[in-house]
């Protein structure tokens, strides 16, 4: 095999193997979120399958190009069909519980793909007889790792950003089919199989998405609802979860938590002509037909504004939109706001891990103007009894002191919980009142 062709093959292997891992992590977000308890096992199992592939490749003793061509063809099929949105969504819809669907996806798609591609370098280095063993393996690993670097960067920062996740899937499938063709030479049967796999991947990934638009960060959809108390209601879905809703009545009706936030801002706090920061754009409904304040929305996905304006609001948003990570924005901005609204979710109940820590809440505090207020929308159990609910509320109050906590749906297993904290409050120690030492009267007197 010509040396340049061999390096091209291992480059494609590296490009598509890590590219498939990046795509798999993105496909999992709407269904299981992006918490480290999801990403870490996924990466670990991928690496385990890759290591087992290295071991299997080391045991191959003949038909080197044919083995790699076969592996590339099967991998193209796994990537093109197994990583397609319709396949992943269908799997998590029809296989329950969710953890079982995750196991099927990892064990049936991602790990087999990694195992097959992991065989490439040890198999093809057998053909580099003109080089020393160390030199052969070094160059092969160089081109494979270079492909992994370019695959992860270009697919996530270019292809997914501009063309969508399905285009990234198709890119990997086509490259693997092309690699199989390069190794097949004059085997017309192999050529036919490779072309068939490429066409199948093209059809399944480029078919109409039934109103779902996927970007590098999320899946979006606007769907009608059946609500007798609303006029032509529609839902704005992010990662298969209801992010916001509104109808065509005048004034429009919104999701209950949005209406509650508007009530706090306008009626209870009487904020008019003020600057309000909203972390997490959602459907941009907080400022919809609300001209009295100046709103600044921060969201990591640049495409969410166009989707919301075209299909959900059906008009331009009211306010300023800044594309940035919420944590980075509150840490770097010099602006101060009279109210900061935190409404950040990667799926229905999943808040990105870096947006729940004490350090994040400290950064939000520095963005508040004097006498400013922090309003946080959380989705927790209605009784606030789970460890997550208790620890998250305790984390916020460790920075802000005592905050108001309002559970909007007390009878439901999961509820919107609105937390209100003030810039003037401070965290401090508390002393429970007892029959032996009851300082309630003194504390009350000092509070007036």
The pLDDT, as a whole number, for residue 424 is 85
Domain termination residue (choose one: 213, 232, 258): 213
The predicted pLDDT at position 349 comes to 61
pLDDT value for 284: 94
Query: b/e per residue, 379-399, with b = 16+ CB within 10 A?
Result: bbbbebeeeebeebbebbbeb
CA 386 from centre of chain: 24
Tell whether 75 and 92 lie within a shared domain.
yes
Same domain flag for 76 and 201: yes
pLDDT averaged per 10 residues, the chain (length 448): 87 96 93 86 96 93 90 95 93 92 96 96 83 77 93 92 92 94 79 88 81 84 88 89 89 92 95 96 92 95 92 93 95 95 79 90 94 94 91 94 92 91 82 77 71
Vertex 221: Cα angle to 18 and 158 (nearest 5)? 30
Residue 259 located in a structural domain? yes
Q: Which of 160, 186, 213 is the last residue of a domain?
A: 213
Tokens 């901005």 label which residue?
333
pLDDT score, position 183: 87
Q: What is the number of domains present in the chain?
A: 2
C-beta of residue 124 within 8 angstroms of C-beta of residue 57: no
CATH number at residue 249: 3.40.50.150
Q: Which two tokens stand for residue 261?
A: 């936030």
Query: What is the dihedral angle through the alpha carbons of 59, 64, 68, 70, rounded to the nearest 10 degrees?
Result: -100
Could you tell me if 192 and 323 lie in one domain? Answer: no
188, 252: one domain: no
Examine the domain organization and report whether 111 and 11 are in the same domain.
yes
* 427 located within any domain: no
The domain that holds 73 is classified in CATH as 1.20.1250.20
Kindly state whether residue 223 falls inside one of the protein's structural domains: yes
Cβ atoms 341, 290 nearer than 8 A? no
393 within 8 A of 355, measured Cβ to Cβ: no
* Domain range for 236: 219-422
Q: Looking at residue 367, what is its pLDDT?
A: 95
305 falls within a domain: yes
104: in domain: yes
Asked if 195 and 256 sit in the same domain, the reply is no
Residue-level pLDDT at 447 = 66
The predicted pLDDT at position 266 comes to 95
Query: What letter would DSSP give residue 200?
Result: H
Quote the pLDDT of residue 242. 85
Residue 331 CB coordination number (10 Å): 15
Domain check: are 321 and 278 in the same one?
Answer: yes
The C-alpha atoms of residue 284 and residue 273 are separated, in whole angstroms, by 18
Enter the pTM of the model.
0.83
Looking at the structure, tell me whether residues 199 and 237 fall in a common domain. Answer: no
67 CB burial (10 A radius; 0-12, 13-18, 19+): buried
Q: Of 213, 232, 259, which marks where a domain is finished?
A: 213
Judge contact between 231 and 248, C-beta under 8 A: yes
What pLDDT is recorded for position 347?
65
**393 in a domain, yes or no?**
yes
Is 209 in the same domain as 228?
Answer: no
What burial letters (b/e) apply to 402-424, b meaning 16+ CB within 10 Å? ebebebbeeeeeebbbbbbbbbe
Q: Are residues 291 and 185 in the same domain?
A: no
Q: How many other C-beta atoms are found inside a 10 Å radius of the C-beta of residue 320? A: 13
């Amino acid at each position: 095999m010509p040396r340049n062709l061999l390096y091209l093959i291992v480059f494609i292997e590296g490009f598509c193997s890590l590219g498939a891992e990046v795509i798999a992590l993105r496909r999992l977000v709407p269904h299981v979120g992006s918490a480290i308890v999801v990403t870490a096992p996924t990466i670990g199992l991928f690496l385990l399958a890759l290591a087992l592939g290295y071991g299997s490749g080391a045991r191959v003793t003949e038909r080197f190009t044919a083995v790699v061509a076969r592996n590339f063809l099967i991998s193209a099929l796994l990537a093109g069909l197994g990583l397609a949105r319709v396949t992943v969504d269908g799997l998590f819809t029809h296989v329950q519980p969710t953890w079982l669907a995750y196991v099927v996806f990892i064990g049936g798609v991602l790990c087999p793909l990694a195992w097959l591609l992991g065989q490439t370098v040890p198999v093809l280095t057998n053909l580099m007889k003109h080089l020393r063993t160390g030199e052969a393996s070094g160059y092969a690993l160089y081109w494979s790792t270079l492909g992994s670097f370019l695959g992860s960067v270009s697919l996530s920062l270019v292809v997914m950003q501009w063309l969508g996740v399905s285009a990234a899937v198709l890119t990997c499938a086509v490259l693997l089919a092309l690699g199989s063709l390069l190794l097949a030479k004059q085997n017309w049967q192999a050529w036919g199989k490779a072309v068939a796999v490429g066409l199948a991947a093209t059809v399944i990934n480029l078919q109409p998405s039934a109103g779902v638009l996927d970007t590098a960060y999320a899946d979006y959809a606007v769907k009608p609802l059946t609500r007798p108390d609303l006029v032509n209601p529609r839902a704005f879905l992010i990662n298969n979860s209801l992010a916001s809703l509104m109808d065509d009545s005048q004034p429009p009706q919104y999701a209950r938590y949005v209406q509650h936030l508007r009530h706090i801002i306008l009626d209870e706090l009487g904020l008019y002509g003020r600057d309000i920061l909203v972390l997490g754009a959602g459907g941009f409904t907080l400022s919809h037909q609300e001209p009295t304040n100046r709103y600044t929305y921060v969201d990591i996905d640049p495409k969410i504004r166009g989707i919301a304006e075209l299909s959900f609001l059906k008009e331009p948003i009211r306010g300023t939109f800044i594309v940035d990570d919420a944590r980075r924005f509150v840490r770097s901005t010099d602006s101060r706001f009279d109210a900061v609204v935190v409404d950040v979710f990667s799926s229905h109940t999943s808040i990105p891990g870096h947006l729940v820590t004490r350090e994040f809440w400290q950064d939000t505090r520095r963005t508040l103007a004097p006498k400013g207020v922090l309003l946080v929308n959380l989705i927790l159990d209605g009784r606030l009894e789970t460890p997550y609910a208790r620890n998250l509320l305790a984390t916020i109050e460790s920075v802000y002191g005592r905050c108001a906590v309002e559970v909007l749906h007390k009878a439901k297993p999961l509820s919107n919980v609105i937390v209100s904290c003030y810039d003037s409050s401070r965290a401090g120690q508390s002393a429970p009142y007892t029959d032996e030492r009851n300082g309630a009267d003194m504390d009350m007197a000092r509070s007036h």
